[in-house]
Chains A and B, each alone.
Chain A
Amino acid sequence: TQLLEQSPQFLSIQEGENLTVYCNSSSVFSSLQWYRQEPGEGPVLLVTVVTGGEVKKLKRLTFQFGDARKDSSLHITAAQPGDTGLYLCAGNTGTASKLTFGTGTRLQVTL
């Protein structure tokens, strides 16, 4: 059973458009992280959220953690081709040492 479901799975948009990626679970997470992965490379951490309702901004990226700490969203404003990649949310339940990754959202931004 996949603990973290991401939507959409695939997204192809043009440069300058806005988009939102969702990460949903029935489990409560003590912290949730967002990673971006480019082909053939390891995931790179973008942000960690830990408090319900928390909003964090990283330039054109806005991350939000749901009040119940079961879901999160990533909003990208004015997407650029450099944003292309696989976006993964990953949660930690606090009782285990591992992260569980979401199903991933593959984003392609074209000119």
Chain B
Amino acid sequence: AAGVIQSPRHLIKEKRETATLKCYPIPRHDTVYWYQQGPGQDPQFLISFYEKMQSDKGSIPDRFSAQQFSDYHSELNMSSLELGDSALYFCASSLTGTGVAGGPTGELFFGEGSRLTVL
């Protein structure tokens, strides 16, 4: 079965550069989430999109932006990179209403992540 695909898997950038991460959700999933996980930390929610519209926003810096395109893939753009941006960035997708109780959030399926290293 198709899973969430993220690219690139590894990315090395210098301070003040720009980086773009891509995410291709599971086909027919309508919601995409971005999480940031620093070393030894739990994933922190950045932003989510439902049917190509931003649905929720977490601790995403103003230097970051994201969007979901007509083919449902999503991109996370990070500008003016800082050393502290070095982390694993995970994308996840879900299908609304497919939670165990038919609730708003179905189970999240995560990609393998993109490891960003800022030098």
Query: In the complex, are the beta carbons of A41 and B42 less than 8 A apart?
Result: no
Query: In the complex, are the beta carbons of A99 and B110 less than 8 A apart?
Result: no
Within 8 Å of chain B (Cβ to Cβ): is A25?
no
* Cα separation A90 to B42 with both chains bound (whole Å): 10
Whether A99 touches B108, Cβ cut-off 8 Å, given contacts A50-B103, A94-B103, is yes
Query: In the complex, are the beta carbons of A42 and B92 less than 8 A apart?
Result: yes
- List 10 interface pairs A-B (beta carbons < 8 Å), by A numbering: A43-B43, A45-B107, A45-B108, A94-B104, A97-B50, A97-B55, A97-B56, A98-B45, A98-B48, A98-B58
Within 8 Å of chain A (Cβ to Cβ): is B33?
yes
| Contact residues, A92-111 vs B (CB, 8 A) | 92, 94, 96-104
Whether A97 touches B110, Cβ cut-off 8 Å, given contacts A48-B99, A102-B42, is no
Whether A50 touches B100, Cβ cut-off 8 Å, given contacts A98-B45, A103-B42, is yes
Query: In the complex, are the beta carbons of A97 and B99 less than 8 A apart?
Result: no
Binding site for A on B (CB under 8 A): 4, 31, 33, 35, 41-45, 48, 50, 55-56, 58, 88, 90, 92, 99-101, 103-105, 107-113, 115
* Cα separation A30 to B43 with both chains bound (whole Å): 20
Please name the residue on chain B nearest to A96 by beta carbon. Answer: B56
Q: How many residues of A contact B (CB 8 A)?
A: 27
By a CB distance below 8 angstroms, the chain B residues around A33 are 107-108
* Cα separation A31 to B105 with both chains bound (whole Å): 9
Query: In the complex, are the beta carbons of A98 and B33 less than 8 A apart?
Result: yes
Nearest 9 pairs of A and B residues by beta carbon? A42-B110, A50-B101, A101-B42, A97-B55, A97-B56, A104-B42, A48-B100, A98-B45, A92-B105
Query: In the complex, are the beta carbons of A97 and B103 less than 8 A apart?
Result: no
* Cα separation A71 to B104 with both chains bound (whole Å): 20
By a CB distance below 8 angstroms, the chain A residues around B113 are 40-42
